[in-house]
Structure 1
């Protein structure tokens, strides 16, 4: 069985990419906070999204992605804030 953290990161990123076109309509340039393959909220600043995620999720496992037309996948650090 794979690493649960890696599985969460991959699942959130997959969800993000599958819904990117929809997110771009109203949230282009914002940052989306994801948990368990679902949107928690959108934020104007990545730091605000990170602080909110840390305060809401004790396990520290969540993802933040910038809603842009061509997201850059920088690996582990691009889609998990832990």
Structure 2
């Protein structure tokens, strides 16, 4: 699985942590290949919003796209995967 980070401010520790979370997810196994792009939007305060854009290829070879946005990385990732799965079920 190809994971691409468009956010250049991520340090190596964060990149590895995010990659581990993505690779351990059982939802990623349902796709032949997947490309994810991560952007972080920081506010003046302490909160950071994560926007994850995903492009996945289904087992049938169809490409689907979706985006997940949330204040927590895990929830943004979960939202993205649920949208991708919904679309893949519609395409069948």
**TM-score by structure 1 length?**
0.35
Higher relative contact order (CA 8 A, sep 6+): 1
Larger Rg, first or second structure (1 or 2): 2
**TM-score by structure 2 length?**
0.32
More strand by share: 2
